[in-house]
Structure 1
């Protein structure tokens, strides 16, 4: 099992009143014990991997040779998922997607057992006095829920574990940003707004999540927008070294961002930087119909160059009256036609958007700050959708 970086869950107000609900009790034990352990997360991760590779040496082949970047990803992903066990409507569909995605690694049932043992061992090692029989039982039960959902989904899926695709073009927009177009052997069955994992020949076994920026096409061509982030081994190699003819592997589609045209609700889209990719895919898909919900798309960045896809979106808006595009800049104040401030600032100036479905995509800090500010402004949490996994 492996995973990319995780957007930390939005802070919640947990009740400490006594309860007999076994799920609530389990979640409370997990969260309270993790709060003790979290300051030592890096050391927990080292202990976790050492334990995993000791009890199940075959799992070492599932991970890249260089573990520097990978070190804390799986552990944080596991903890994030375990802490969501009281939100089954959000968690179970995500786990099913994750289980299908993990087939590309050749993961089997014994690997899940080994990961669970290593996870509990790592948390126990650093929880020390906070680790009790009740806490251990809570972590074991939460992990079992996660593993069962993933395994059942993986076993039921009859589709391919991955698709092969050939890079046909790399367009370098600037030093840190590139558009890469990939032609799969067979069309990947994704919905607009979903993301996929990719493995490139330059970074074997280092899978990275990317979102197609275009709606599904008849020829299956995929377009990815990739920014080279600090410390991003995969993203930097894609931007600087990808060439036509490179063969990629593409994992099963995942993600919850989508627009239901029949729901009767207007849509608010909030995108930062390359987080515009799923929004552009959704907008392109919607443009195939004449009538749609009204869509307000706030597209933000620090400087004008970050809004690299603005003209494309404005072209769509010019012929589709249901779409309004609002560009937002944090640091440049003299660019005409731009709102000034962070996305969180600008979006909440307009209010709580109570009658809208809200889709958010971007860096982890941007997602956290924007969603948190919207909750404070009065937006209902169940109206906000964002995906927990992001770049590098």
Structure 2
């Protein structure tokens, strides 16, 4: 049986999985086979894009000439989906957001079919003896469900595919950090903590995810805190070359990081570097009320310069007793901060089992922090983080 026969065309409605046992089998087969190919992630991604552009050559023009970063983003997305494949309450909203976000590329159903064929062909090639007809059916079912969720969300979205926004200020804080303010031509309906895909004129077709560092304002302006990461084509071009009058494109808001003021639980925030942005936006939003859940914010970095906004947040905490700010540095012998990694320091305080936990930063920081917290006893369903956090 060929991949084409399994996933093309995508059916008009989600395929029925007959029983919980069938769902469990599908999840197990997808995870087990993905674990086999994941050590060859770079080769899988290269083969996937080669196959995709062969099946549907028109898709190539949607992507930048340099595909290196795009390949790593594909694998991060795949890993995230595989991790959530048996958690539909988390996975379906994530896929719906992706579907709405992909409208900016002009994606249509035939593109999803091509992606499905290329994906299954790529996993099959590197799964070796682990690939069977049963595994192929599991991947086809899983992909069809994912694609249908994305297509349905895109079709139902009545908002624009993207917004235009003009750069109205650009402040450099050190050589590798910039704060850029943009004014959208029309208000962007994001919630504090969500992120947006952004395309800048210096790097056309290189869309990157950036997180507003402020709650929505009456004038609609949005601040982005951007660090120029090593190898970051977009982040470095923004920090060094963004100028007043530049017009950016911004896709629909995405992400799950948020604070529920009504559920009665206090909040732990763990932020590394410019991963502070979603936490800052949420705190900005909460500051309009006198009473809130208690928020314990750990801000981490390697050196003092990474704590670029800690004084501002401590000023906010000084007049808002619901907020506690704890700066953390890996650099030794710095007064006034906790010493160690964020994972070290946060778990030193305990398991935080009664808190809602929000984590944001580099993929490595998120992995280490979440892993250590789970070992310490933090319930998994209390932890929220978003997968797209780097250039």
| Superposition TM-score, scaled by structure 2 size | 0.93
Does 1:379 find its partner at 2:378?
yes
What are the residue-to-residue correspondences of 1:207-356 with 2, within 5 Å?
207-333=207-333, 335-356=334-355
Equivalent residue number for residue 140 of structure 2: 140
> Once structures 1 and 2 are overlaid, which stretch shifts more, 286-295 or 122-131?
122-131
What are the residue-to-residue correspondences of 1:19-168 with 2, within 5 Å?
21-168=21-168
Following superposition, the deviation at residue 20 of structure 1 comes to 7.0
Q: Which runs of 5+ in 2 are unaligned?
A: 1-18
Hey, what's the Cα distance between the residues in 2 that align with 1:68 and 1:79? 17
Following superposition, the deviation at residue 131 of structure 1 comes to 1.0
Hey, what's the Cα distance between the residues in 1 that align with 2:260 and 2:45? 40
Q: Are the equivalent residues in 2 in contact too, given 1:100–1:153 (CA < 8 A)?
A: yes
Equivalent residue number for residue 191 of structure 2: 191
Does 1:178 find its partner at 2:178?
yes
Q: Which runs of 5+ in 1 are unaligned?
A: 1-18
Which secondary structure state, in structure 2, belongs to the residue aligned with residue 69 of structure 1?
helix
Hey, what's the Cα distance between the residues in 2 that align with 1:99 and 1:72? 19
Hey, what's the Cα distance between the residues in 1 that align with 2:217 and 2:20? 51
Which secondary structure state, in structure 2, belongs to the residue aligned with residue 198 of structure 1?
strand
Q: Indicate how the Cα distance of structure 1 residues 79 and 266 shifts in structure 2: closer, same or farther if over 3 A, else same.
A: closer
Hey, what's the Cα distance between the residues in 2 that align with 1:82 and 1:151? 19
User: C-alpha offsets along residues 196-253 of structure 1, whole Å, 9 cap, x if unaligned?
Assistant: 0100011111100000001100000000000011111111111111111111001100
Q: Are the equivalent residues in 2 in contact too, given 1:30–1:83 (CA < 8 A)?
A: no
Following superposition, the deviation at residue 47 of structure 1 comes to 1.2
Following superposition, the deviation at residue 75 of structure 1 comes to 4.3
Following superposition, the deviation at residue 89 of structure 1 comes to 0.8
| Superposition TM-score, scaled by structure 1 size | 0.93
Following superposition, the deviation at residue 67 of structure 1 comes to 1.6
Hey, what's the Cα distance between the residues in 2 that align with 1:380 and 1:363? 22
User: C-alpha offsets along residues 17-42 of structure 1, whole Å, 9 cap, x if unaligned?
Assistant: xx971111111111211222122222
Q: Are the equivalent residues in 2 in contact too, given 1:214–1:280 (CA < 8 A)?
A: yes
Equivalent residue number for residue 367 of structure 1: 366
Hey, what's the Cα distance between the residues in 2 that align with 1:53 and 1:75? 17
Which secondary structure state, in structure 2, belongs to the residue aligned with residue 305 of structure 1?
helix
Q: Indicate how the Cα distance of structure 1 residues 304 and 79 shifts in structure 2: closer, same or farther if over 3 A, else same.
A: closer
Hey, what's the Cα distance between the residues in 2 that align with 1:75 and 1:226? 23
Q: Indicate how the Cα distance of structure 1 residues 161 and 310 shifts in structure 2: closer, same or farther if over 3 A, else same.
A: same
Hey, what's the Cα distance between the residues in 2 that align with 1:69 and 1:355? 38
Q: Indicate how the Cα distance of structure 1 residues 302 and 76 shifts in structure 2: closer, same or farther if over 3 A, else same.
A: closer
Hey, what's the Cα distance between the residues in 2 that align with 1:28 and 1:174? 48
Q: Are the equivalent residues in 1 in contact too, given 2:265–2:355 (CA < 8 A)?
A: yes
Q: Are the equivalent residues in 1 in contact too, given 2:31–2:82 (CA < 8 A)?
A: no
Q: Are the equivalent residues in 2 in contact too, given 1:180–1:223 (CA < 8 A)?
A: yes
Hey, what's the Cα distance between the residues in 1 that align with 2:175 and 2:307? 15
Q: Indicate how the Cα distance of structure 1 residues 251 and 57 shifts in structure 2: closer, same or farther if over 3 A, else same.
A: same
Which secondary structure state, in structure 2, belongs to the residue aligned with residue 60 of structure 1?
helix
Q: Which has the higher contact order (CA 8 A, sep 6+)?
A: 1
Hey, what's the Cα distance between the residues in 1 that align with 2:354 and 2:280? 22
Which secondary structure state, in structure 2, belongs to the residue aligned with residue 65 of structure 1?
coil
Runs of 4+ in 1 over 3 A off after TM superposition: none
Q: Are the equivalent residues in 1 in contact too, given 2:275–2:389 (CA < 8 A)?
A: no
Hey, what's the Cα distance between the residues in 1 that align with 2:163 and 2:117? 32
Give the aligned length: 373
Hey, what's the Cα distance between the residues in 1 that align with 2:386 and 2:188? 19
Equivalent residue number for residue 3 of structure 1: none
